[in-house]
Amino acid sequence: MSGSPLDGWEFVCSEGELLPGEKRTVWAGDTPILVVNLDGDYYAVEDRCTHEDFDLSAGEVNQKDGSIECVLHGAKFDLRNGDVLCPPAYVPVATFPVQVVDGAVWTRDHR
């Protein structure tokens, strides 16, 4: 969004709007990015399961192990690094940077 405090970055929300365990999807061009608050730390992954191209945001966040499970077939991904934690997915999900600036959470597609 041109003219934003962080050019090339997408505004997600203010910190108070995304509590621990909560998630929000924003779009960076054609890329849906899922941003999750894991106990005060923010992580962003592509909001697409690599197994069947389904929205990961439909799944539940597991705060304990920092993962999200796709509701379609049960593939599970580590939100911190995108790694696959269980099949049927075998390809990691893309991860994206997150910044908090003046109480606002931002992400971008850096590929």
Domain count of the fold of the chain: 1
Residue 5 within any structural domain of the chain = no
Residue 1 within any structural domain of the chain = no
Give the pLDDT confidence score for residue 4 in this predicted structure.
58
**What's the CATH number where 69 sits?**
2.102.10.10
Domain of 92?
10-107
What 8-state DSSP symbol labels residue 49? Answer: -
Instruction: Write the pLDDT tens digit of every residue in 33-71.
Output: 999 999 999 999 999 999 999 999 999 999 999 999 999
Residue 4 within any structural domain of the chain = no
Provide CB contacts within 8 A for 82, sequence distance 6+. Answer: 45, 92, 93, 94, 95
Q: What is the pTM of this model?
A: 0.92
Assign residue 30 a region: left if phi > 0, alpha if psi is -120 to 50, beta otherwise?
alpha
Residue 48 within any structural domain of the chain = yes
